[in-house]
Structure 1
Amino acid sequence: MILASLPTPHLPKDSFELADDALLDIVQRQTIRYFWEGAHPVSGLARDRQKTTGDAPNDLVAIGGSGFGIMAIIVAVERGWVDRTDALGRLHRMLDLLEGSPCYHGMFPHFINGSTGDTIPFRRKDDGADIVETTFLFQGLICAREYLDQTTGEEQRLRDRINALLSQAEWDWFARKGKLYWHWSPRHGWAMNSPIEGWNECLLTFVLAAGSQHHAIDPDCYHDGFAGGPAFQNGRDHHGITLPLGPDFGGPLFFAHYSFCGLDPRGLNDRYANYWEQNVGHARINHLHCVLNSQNHQGYGADCWGLTASHGPTGYIAHAPDRDVGVITPSAALSSFPYVPDQAMAALRGFLAKPRKRIWGRFGFVDAFCENRNWYARTYLAINQGPIVAMIENHRTGLLWKLFMGAPEVRLGLARLGFTKPGTKQRNNNLGADANHASHARRNAAGLVAT
């Protein structure tokens, strides 16, 4: 269990006086509770959302949110807040349900029932495979496999189970007409008709799809599909900042977070962008938009910024500078610590100045708030809470980046797509050259080693 020095959801009275690292400890530890104490009681997977006042009265589990939750649990183990053996048991329990859940050519749906594993439709025709949500689940599982690295006993068994699950993903089956498709339904087939194209949160999907040992996609799906889509390349000036990729003003900030909880953007390049410059620029534009506050939204400023997808007074919206209705989402700023640490810390301290009982609770900061309407969410959302923990940890230690970037399928996928990363040991002009270097022996039997 969590080694709680915070027995209640309330922040210490002297939190304003705490050093930055102490505040980050508090935020990470409290947010991790969403995925530990607030997890589904049967499977241990992440509930899609939780209330500030009590556990959700349903079995709705988020596949992508569970991947972020796995990463949060790894952080908790590394920092001594969760016992390694307890975490291992939780992960095995998650896999118990996942292994028995319906899959669609090896891919999971957006939502499943946390007790039975049955698919819960996201929309009427979205009742089958969601390869992007599956990507974020796999991101967490790969980090767990790399972190729990003992070669005997339950950790070895966990890695074998994860490898088996990863090997079943038929990425190439979802490649059609030169593009990679987001959804497939056993009832409705390709009716959702959602090719993954244009800059968004899905870069990691292409990396894992290209790095698959037995079901790899053709790299042209990335270059001609994703990178050839609308709103991929930008190159225009926004508040004095040139943005290499994406829609004008960057879009919602989760574009810079979801794939990059594991992918390390520092020095990561391909023919289209330097991804550190892309994400730093995106975060700075988002911050400056809120500081300039041309729409005069109440509360906006240097210590209150961050637009990304979240709940709001009128429902769930992908908030962005070009879709700004006055809703601030704490995850947007807090998950940007690696990119703009000073601005993120200013936001963290600014959030603490808001009404404590309305913005902070048992699982950390609430999902969003809108001071125009004196509205504070009474919910938390898995896909926003998870990146807070992961990206703060990457800012502090780089833990998850190190784990994920060392995985053979990740290195192979990046190499096949033409990525380079010169900053790592002078070897990464060809990321595939040592894709099987560090852990060849223990993964060879599972068929994951790059040759």
Structure 2
Amino acid sequence: MPFRKLVLLGALIWFGISCNTKDDPEPAAPAKPSTFTLSSLDVNGAFSGYEYTDVSLKPNLRFTFSSALSDASLASGLTFVANSGEKVPFSATLEDGDSTIVIVPTGNLQFLNAYTVSATSALKSKSNATLANAVTLSLHTQLDSTDKFPVITDDALLTLVQQQTFKYFWDFAHPVSGLARERNSSGDVVTSGGSGFGIMTIPVAIERKFITRTAGLERMQKITAFLKDKTQKFHGAFPHWLNGGTGSVVPFSEKDNGADLVETSFLIQGLLTARQYFNANNAAEAKLRADITAIWEGVEWDWFTKNDEKVLYWHWGPTFGWDMNHQIRGWNESLITYVLAASSPTHSISKEVYDKGWANSGGLKNGNSYFNIPLPLGEPYGGPLFFSHYSFLGLNPTGLQDQYAAYFTQNKNHTLINYNYCIANPRAFYGYSDQCWGLTASDIPAGYNANSPASDKGVITPTAALSSFPYTPAESMKALKFFYYKLGDKMWGEYGFRDAFSLKDLWFADSYLAIDQGPIIIMIENHRSGLPWKLFMTNPEVKSGLKKLGFTSPNIN
């Protein structure tokens, strides 16, 4: 083949190969990821999700991602903020081939505070990929375990608590009537039941030398004169709330604008206790006793059986009559209502009303055990602890029993069930322990709740454990020391312990409630000396009423 043809053939071959090469696409380079993700995280070496409690004040936070990170994006891609909105200074360093961020606050965080740490979409990888999903951690720092006040003897601490709490009823009482305001923000609104508790604290305060007997008598004269002559009553019974300056009803709710028989019984319990204390043979104390007797004998307990039904009714009013239709049946805080109704020398109820109404023909019995502790009466786990307090401020449960229960056993076991529930902490609320316990009705964040094992919102109420001193002295003292020494900077104030707190929510009430403050003073005194029990149980009418209902007790023989 001529050389010219060989050259041409070679050129054609080369051209074909070249054209074929250009027609075939080059293999694509691997696509660079547009996002990256979190691979793991830990707080102080442990992982428990995205919420952490009891965190140290200088925690070590590690976020590990699926890609190496751009150091330049750390400042804009990480945030560390306190619950107040204040930014927390921190250091952020890269490890593990720049895929792990180690975050440490520059200074110490604050005790019992909430913080949020976030990695946002502004965080970039070295290849400029974006974090697919923001990561947010919630941190609750630990409790400051140092004592907030100097340590004093247990006896001195009990006295201090009683004296400070008594100021709610003494210093903060309504200036016109001397009655107890419903709460520290209630203005002129006073409470009949809470005032009964406040009245019971006056003999305690005199005996503990917080006030003089003369001052206590003068306050009682002011209170009884107001109750007897100025207060609006309904068949002798008092409303739940009233105006402390005028004595007129303040509706508790739309239809609750008349008599409240249970609140009335708390008031009468206090008045009868005071009547037994002010027993001097002089005109002033004799007049006080006579005024109390007139108030007591004016309550038409039997009328509240609503045309002789075999049960007492809680409410009646001139506007709505019996519309609320709330029968008083046990087990709850209202045993004292039936005892006083049976004890009345003027308007007494029969034992049949007690058996069919309060005891619901035996329906108030429980008989089950919780935490291996038998509960004679009431709802599962016993309900809120005020069930074992309000009726027993004056009514001594020691040795008291009837066909339904032995009442010291009932109250002690109820308290121990509440205590053991808080230790078991089945809902894993932060802070519950053998020194931080006690569920009863109180303020909660943004509301009010009858706290109990069946309705547990993570809120501890000091009155629950402190008013249980007669039943659980060791457990209650441990709680008192925790509330005072460890939480005192947040919970101890002008009128003793504030109403409630939640370590879970880092919430501390700023409120004081009469019905929670009063039992603290009274039940601590029943634990120390038994004075309120001794006074109330010496009332001859009460002894007769208890016997009429079938109770036995060494205190009524």
When normalised by structure 2's length, the TM-score is: 0.72
Shift of 1:218: 1.4
Shift of 1:96: 2.3
Aligned counterpart, 1:94 = 223
Matched letter for residue 173 of structure 2: A
Measure the CA separation in 2 of the matches of 1:379 and 1:57.
Answer: 10
| Structure 2 CA distance for partners of 1:209 and 1:68, relative to 1, 3 Å | same
Matched letter for residue 156 of structure 2: A
Q: What pairs up with 1:118-129 in 2 under 5 angstroms?
A: 118-129=248-259
3-state SS, counterpart of residue 244 of structure 1 = coil
Measure the CA separation in 1 of the matches of 2:190 and 2:148.
Answer: 36
Measure the CA separation in 1 of the matches of 2:234 and 2:163.
Answer: 35
3-state SS, counterpart of residue 235 of structure 1 = coil
More deviation in 85-94 or 277-286? 85-94
* Structure ranking higher in helix proportion: 1
Aligned mate of 2:426, from 279, 294, 303: 294
The answer as to 2:324 corresponding to 1:172 is: no
Q: What pairs up with 1:93-112 in 2 under 5 angstroms?
A: 93-99=222-228, 100-112=230-242
The answer as to 2:432 corresponding to 1:303 is: no
Matched letter for residue 500 of structure 2: A
The answer as to 2:264 corresponding to 1:130 is: no
Question: Which runs of at least 4 in structure 1 moved beyond 6 Å after TM superposition?
Answer: none
Aligned counterpart, 1:225 = 357
Shift of 1:405: 0.5
Measure the CA separation in 2 of the matches of 1:339 and 1:16.
Answer: 27
Aligned counterpart, 1:322 = 454
| Structure 2 CA distance for partners of 1:342 and 1:355, relative to 1, 3 Å | closer
Cα contact 1:101–1:118 (8 A) shared by 2: yes
More deviation in 226-235 or 117-126? 226-235
Measure the CA separation in 1 of the matches of 2:455 and 2:283.
Answer: 51
Matched letter for residue 255 of structure 2: K
Q: What pairs up with 1:258-277 in 2 under 5 angstroms?
A: 258-277=390-409
Aligned counterpart, 1:358 = 490
Aligned counterpart, 2:70 = none
What's the CA shift string for 1:404-432, capped at 9, x where partnerless? 001011101101100001x34xxx5xx5x
Matched letter for residue 524 of structure 2: I
Cα contact 1:180–1:196 (8 A) shared by 2: yes
Shift of 1:74: 1.3
The answer as to 2:70 corresponding to 1:70 is: no
Aligned mate of 1:49, from 171, 180, 183: 183
Measure the CA separation in 2 of the matches of 1:111 and 1:143.
Answer: 22
| Structure 2 CA distance for partners of 1:229 and 1:290, relative to 1, 3 Å | farther
Shift of 1:248: 0.6
Cα contact 2:149–2:485 (8 A) shared by 1: no
Aligned counterpart, 1:155 = 285
Cα contact 2:355–2:362 (8 A) shared by 1: no
Measure the CA separation in 1 of the matches of 2:548 and 2:361.
Answer: 20
3-state SS, counterpart of residue 278 of structure 1 = helix
Aligned counterpart, 1:115 = 245
Aligned mate of 2:189, from 48, 60, 63: 60
Shift of 1:344: 0.0
* Structure ranking higher in strand proportion: 2
Measure the CA separation in 1 of the matches of 2:238 and 2:362.
Answer: 27
Matched letter for residue 37 of structure 1: D
Cα contact 1:198–1:230 (8 A) shared by 2: no
Aligned mate of 2:174, from 40, 46, 52: 40
Measure the CA separation in 2 of the matches of 1:206 and 1:264.
Answer: 15
Report the count of equivalent residues: 408
Aligned mate of 1:207, from 339, 356, 381: 339
The answer as to 2:505 corresponding to 1:376 is: no
Matched letter for residue 102 of structure 1: Q
Cα contact 2:148–2:488 (8 A) shared by 1: no
Aligned counterpart, 2:367 = 235
3-state SS, counterpart of residue 367 of structure 2 = strand
Give identity over the alignment, percent: 52
Measure the CA separation in 1 of the matches of 2:387 and 2:186.
Answer: 31
Q: What pairs up with 1:433-448 in 2 under 5 angstroms?
A: none
Cα contact 1:16–1:349 (8 A) shared by 2: no
Shift of 1:229: 6.4
Cα contact 1:107–1:130 (8 A) shared by 2: yes
Cα contact 1:132–1:202 (8 A) shared by 2: yes
Matched letter for residue 25 of structure 1: T
Cα contact 1:199–1:246 (8 A) shared by 2: yes
Shift of 1:73: 1.4
Over the residues paired in the alignment, what is the CA RMSD in angstroms? 1.3
Aligned counterpart, 2:209 = 80
Shift of 1:295: 0.9
The answer as to 2:323 corresponding to 1:191 is: yes
When normalised by structure 1's length, the TM-score is: 0.89
Q: Which runs of 5+ in 2 are unaligned?
A: 1-146
3-state SS, counterpart of residue 366 of structure 2 = strand
Matched letter for residue 29 of structure 1: Q
3-state SS, counterpart of residue 75 of structure 1 = helix
Matched letter for residue 170 of structure 2: W
Cα contact 2:148–2:486 (8 A) shared by 1: no
Measure the CA separation in 1 of the matches of 2:443 and 2:159.
Answer: 26
Q: What pairs up with 1:325-336 in 2 under 5 angstroms?
A: 325-336=457-468
The answer as to 2:385 corresponding to 1:253 is: yes
What's the CA shift string for 1:360-384, capped at 9, x where partnerless? 1000000000111110000000000
Aligned mate of 1:31, from 165, 170, 181: 165
The answer as to 2:474 corresponding to 1:348 is: no
Matched letter for residue 159 of structure 2: D
Shift of 1:353: 3.8
Cα contact 1:197–1:230 (8 A) shared by 2: no
Measure the CA separation in 2 of the matches of 1:29 and 1:352.
Answer: 14
Higher RCO by CA contacts (8 Å cutoff, separation 6 or greater): 1
Cα contact 2:502–2:508 (8 A) shared by 1: yes
Measure the CA separation in 1 of the matches of 2:500 and 2:362.
Answer: 30
